[in-house]
């Protein structure tokens, strides 16, 4: 099952992604993610020159060329911290750690989007069969793919590329302009 899920998610792998991801590239990805800037109330796609300037090679390849990063060798697959994931290009809120789970595929997977309005799906036939591609609505970044083999309650698996995302921990939500999501994490804390 895991091998099928991995090959389903893998799709077209960027040549740049086939090389081992070094700790310095992971650090560069985190640095580029931080440089992406704070959240905006209006999410827009920057110019291609600005996107190229801000992103690492793998981030650009994934978000702009629809490539896929290597499984298990990406920054957010094993991230268990509480917070939200936003589009690396525009900052639009996409997913919450509250909906993240270990799918065993090697990519961060979520049962549902945080803001459904910031997600769009398209038909992907690049591998010779039909898949559902997930893109961000405002930046039109390639994020990953959607599958119907996820856990309850949705039965969905949003299989995303870490390179398309920027993680914002709960402690930084307010400072980064995403304070409206703090209540989600407070209600979970109170329920425990």
The 3-class SS string of 118-183 reads: HEEEEEECCCCCCEEEEEECCCCCEEEEEECCCCCCCCCEEEECHHHEEEEEHHHCCCCCCHHHHH
Active site residue 159: yes
Encode pLDDT of 50-68 as tens digits.
Answer: 999 999 999 999 999 999 9
Tell me: pLDDT of 24 over 80: no
* Domains detected in the chain: 2-191 (2.170.150.20)
Q: Identify the residue with better confidence: 85 or 26.
A: 85
* Catalytic annotation, pick one of 9, 21, 70, 159: 159
pTM confidence score = 0.79
Tell me: pLDDT of 146 over 70: yes
């Amino acid at each position: 099952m895991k091998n099928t899920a991995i090959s389903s998610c893998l799709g077209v792998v960027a040549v740049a992604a086939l090389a081992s991801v070094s700790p310095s590239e992971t650090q560069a990805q985190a640095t580029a993610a931080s440089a992406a800037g704070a959240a905006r109330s209006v999410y827009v796609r920057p110019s291609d020159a600005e996107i190229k300037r801000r992103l690492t090679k793998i981030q650009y390849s994934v978000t702009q060329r629809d490539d896929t990063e290597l499984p298990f060798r990406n920054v957010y697959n094993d991230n268990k911290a509480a917070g939200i994931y936003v589009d690396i290009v525009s900052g639009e809120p996409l997913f919450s750690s509250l909906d993240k789970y270990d799918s065993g595929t090697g990519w961060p997977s979520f049962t549902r989007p945080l803001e459904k309005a910031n997600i769009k799906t398209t038909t992907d036939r690049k591998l010779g069969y039909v898949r559902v591609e997930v893109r961000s609505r405002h930046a039109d970044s390639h994020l990953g793919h959607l599958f119907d083999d996820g856990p309850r309650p949705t039965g969905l698996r949003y299989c995303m590329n870490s390179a398309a995302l920027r993680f914002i921990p709960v402690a930084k939500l307010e400072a980064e302009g995403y304070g409206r999501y703090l209540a989600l994490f407070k209600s979970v804390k109170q329920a425990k």
